Structures are given as C-alpha cells and as structure tokens.
Amino acid sequence: MNTPYPSASLYVGDLHHDVTEGQLFEIFNTVGPVASIRVCRDAITRRSLGYAYVNYHNVADAERALDTLNNSLIRSKACRIMWSQRDPSVRKSGLGNVFIKNLDKSIDHRALYDTFSAFGNILSCKVVTDDNNVSKGYGFVHFETQEQAEKAIARVNGMMLNGKQVYVGPFIPKKERLKSGDANKFTNVYIKNLDEGVSEEKLCEMFAKFGKLRNAVVMRDEGNKSKGFGFVNYENYDDAKRAVDEMNGRDINGKALYCGRAQKKAERESELRAKFEQLKAERLAKYQGVNLYIKNLEDDWDDEKLKTEFSAFGNITSAKVMRDEKGLSRGFGFVCFSAPEEATRAVTEMNGRMCGTKPLYVALAQRKEVRRAQLEAQLAQRMKRGGMTAVPTPTMFPAGNPPVFYTQPANLPPQQFMYPQPQQMLNSRRWAPAPGQYQPMPNYMVQMQRQTRTNGRQLPGRRFNGRGARDQQPAQPAPGPAQAVPQLEPLTPAALAQYPPEQQLNMLGERLFSQISKVQPELAGKITGMLLERYSSSVEELLRLVENENELNSKISQALEVLDQFAAEAKDGEKEGVKAEK
C-alpha cells in the first residue's frame, strides 16, 4: 500500500470515551516507537471526543500500524484508523468520496475496506452503526483520487454483496442533497387531519381525479387505528401539484385537510431547525440588554422576593429563581426589565450588594455559547500564565523510553497538595489562604511522577502557592498513609448519615476531588480543600455540587479567580518587601 501523505501521523476514530493516551501508547508502541499521542477532549469538561492522533517517528511504522491495527478492538469497540489530513479542504471537497447503501448487516469496516481497496488507496472507510454497534446498512469510502472513486462506482454499483444488491455512488453532502431535491418537482403528497373513517380506498377516490396514482396509504397504529395522516403518490409532478392546490384546506367531514409536498425527515428537521434559530435570534434581539443574571441568592428567595428586590429600578416583565428537580433553589435566577437603561441601573446598584449573608452577583445575561467561549479563553489564559502543561497538547516521549503521562504545574516540586487551615480563611466572600499557612490535607494527595527541575537543579524545600507565588517557608513533612474512605454508591444524605461528620466530609471530598481533577488536575486538591472549608457545615450543599456539574464548574471558576487574585497580591507584597529592603 502506498502512503498518500509523507507525514507519520494517524487519526484514530470511533474510540470509547474512557480510552486514555496511556492505553493507546501500549497498543501502538508495539508496532514501532511512538513520538506522541493526543486524545482530543472537550475544553471545559475534559471528556474525550472519541478520537485521537498518534504520531510515529517514521512513516513505515505509521503505515504498518494502519495495516495491522485498523478496525481492532479497543475497550470492546472497533477503532477506525486513517492518515491524518492536515488540510480540511481535502475532507470537505467530497472528491474521491463514495457512498454505499443497502449493505448487508454482516459487512463491517474491514469487509468494506477489503472490497474497495482493489480500486486504489483508501484514506477512510466506515460502515455507519447505531448505539449498539449494529450496521445501519450504509457506509462511506474515501479514495485518494477522484479517478479511483469513479472506477469503484462503475465496477461495484449494482453488484451483489452477501446476497444484497448494493448502490454505490458519489457522496453528496447533506446540504447539497437538500438543495438537489427540487422542491418544485414532487410526486409524493402528504395529507393530514384525515377523519378516522377515511380508508385507503376512500383516499384513492378523493385524489384519483387529479391524475394517475401509484399508491395511497393511510398510516395506522398497532391496533390498526388511523393516525389521521397518509400519503398519495402520483406518476407525474403536474398531477401532484394540482392535488395540493385544490385539496389543501378543503373541509372533509368537518376537518380542514392539509396537503403538501411530502418531505424526508432530514429536510423537515432542517426547516424546523432554521425556524427555531430564527425565533431564537428574534428572542435574543428582543431581550438584548434588558435580561439580568443574578447569583448568590439566599436559599429562601422565591420569584416574588427577587422581583421585589429589583422593582425599584424599573418595570420588570419577568423574574424567576431557577430550581432543581426537587424544587430547591439553585442559587441563581433572572430578572428582565422593559428598558436597557433600567437594567443598567440595576447592575450598577445591585452588583456586590449584601442581601442576607451573601453579596449578589448581577450582570447582563449571556448566551450559553458566549459564556462557554469566555470560560475557554479564561482557562487557556490561566494555563499559559500559571505555567501549566495543558492536556490538549501532545505528550512527547524520547524514542525507546517509556512514556510519562501527567499534567502538573511546571514549577511545582514533588509533594502533596496543601489546603488552608480554617482560621486562615479571610471571609465567606474570598476563599484565599494566608501566605505560608498550610497543612497537609489527607485523602487529596497526588503522587507526582517525576522530579521537577528548573535550570538543571532541583528545588528542595520550596513550596509554591496555587498560582505561582513562591512561599519561602520550608514545606511541612508528609503525613502518614491516608485512612481508607468508604465508597458509597449512590452518595445520598441517607447513606452519609451512617457516618460521623468528619468522615462524611472525607467521602464528599473524595468525590469532589475526582470530579475537579477532570477540569483542573493541577489544582484539584487545593480547590477541593477550599470547597470543603467553605461548606463544611452544609453536607447538602456539598452533595449538590457533586450532583450538579454546572454548579461545580461555577465554583471552580470562582476559586480560580480567588487564587489568581491572591497570587497577584502575594507577588505585589513580595515586590514591596524587596523595595523596603533596598
């Protein structure tokens, strides 16, 4: 097989979401020395997107991996390997891409590949499957050149494969398929609002006067009862159009019929999606600048209380406190004013105001995708500023050496994570620890996998706070082995009640640490300690964070902001100290 690309980079798709870089290394390194592996993940949740890139040191090893490992099982799921295509236009152009349908269920990726490999170099080959990994009866083959694709179409189209005659043709993107189906040329008519007494014979009688019918059907349920809609199919377009023009809206047995061109599911969904996006855009334009997001609400606030607190700033059209499935407040809500200037005044006056025991956070409401983009930008900036090794970057290994997979601050010496003592918490609004006052936190220790060095020498006896500020006091000795914490499934108030308060916190801390590690592996211990300290008297609040991913991500973001601020203050204090010494 000739390699279509000079690089030694492979795309590995259809992966189980739990597959890691280490597991892939063990598999692909058996073929030849691997240069790097990257499992692509969601920027926020860190969940695998189901595909990865494997880079070899030489093309021969990559080619051998493609030949021997393609369609092999990884965690009971067949992977799909192809050459990594750096230029997306190659994929999007559709050149050399072939569509095959009416495939027998027994034909898998490998069988399809073997059938079409005789016609040229295959870049990608896939049989589409459902959630149970059962073939849906169609697939795709992407050849290196258009000539190879045309040869495959000419030779295989109409052939019998495993007892079924297959269709093979050029691949047409969904948008182009919808456009190519001329809406003005149709023969199939969809009729709804049919009386339950209308049968196929009656339907034929109603519509046969407009032209010759191929067939007519009334859709029925399992009990053979009419669903109130059906289809009639004409032999030519003119007859179908005349039937739609004359029968649409006509009263039949007290019901107004709807007659229109029958649409495929994908086309209907596309139209509905377009209408939804239009309505969404109109709604966003309508509420732009007048809808406020408020968080840090007291648990006993309801819609009326929220409206009362903000009514002084203008006319409120709606006020709502968001609640979970149990009806409990989620601690945030929305207030919509009738004018932008009223909303602006409310933000200016109410943001940061103490209402009860918490300071309110008030800002203009943003769309989910806007918030997501901002959070991604903030995380990227923090990683860059904090000197962290970001997960999405490839993990490199020298040839012939075993890989090391980890993510940690680049300047952190090997030690356990620390957390602030209770007396050092500043107040409920800021979780920042005082400099130098740390104690070991059991159950949240992270064993570093290698010694970190700076400028060729180890950093003994120095500790760094969460965001890079240096602490000149010597690190405290590591504690003894952490006690085993019971693992409860599910983690519920009733199950926790069997244990003393201290052990309840340990169990909740273990669960929080596991979840936070997926988002902030380098600071998971520190953030876990901060959350446990803040909510040490509220097991219910900690349980809610364990169960609600959005709430937990919000608390993580707040904790990172506090750590950033504390690091900046510590850095400024260090500068002032240097000036004073001078």
Taking alpha carbons only, the member of 531, 573, 320 closest to residue 436 is 573
Q: What is residue 252's predicted lDDT score, i.e. its pLDDT?
A: 84
Query: Residue-wise over 184-210: b if at least 16 C-beta within 10 A, else e?
Result: eebbebbbeebeeebeeeebeebbeeb
Give the contacts of 499 (CB within 8 A, at least 6 positions apart).
486, 507
- List of E strands, 166-287: 167-170, 188-192, 213-220, 226-234, 251-252, 255-256, 258-261
The DSSP H or E segment spanning 115 is: helix 109-116
Look-up of token digits 């599911």: 265
Helix (H, G, I), strand (E, B) or coil at 286: helix
State the pairing for strand pair 470-471/463-464: antiparallel
Q: What is residue 87's predicted lDDT score, i.e. its pLDDT?
A: 64
Give the contacts of 184 (CB within 8 A, at least 6 positions apart).
none
- Show the domains of the chain with their CATH numbers: 9-173 (3.30.70.330), 188-261 (3.30.70.330), 288-364 (3.30.70.330), 407-455+482-572 (1.10.1900.10)
Residues of the chain with pLDDT under 50: 1-4, 181, 183, 387-483, 578, 580
Q: 258 with 248: CB under 8 angstroms?
A: yes
State the pairing for strand pair 9-13/34-41: unpaired
CA angle centred on 13, ends 8 and 17, rounded to 5° = 125
Angstrom CA distances, 231 to 19, 96, 199, 203, 270, stand at: 47, 37, 12, 9, 21
State the pairing for strand pair 97-101/34-41: unpaired
Q: What is residue 391's predicted lDDT score, i.e. its pLDDT?
A: 40
Q: What is residue 174's predicted lDDT score, i.e. its pLDDT?
A: 66
Query: Residue-wise over 519-546: b if at least 16 C-beta within 10 A, else e?
Result: bbbbbbbbbbbbbbbbbeeebebbbbbb
What are the structure tokens assigned to 178, written together? Answer: 């919808």
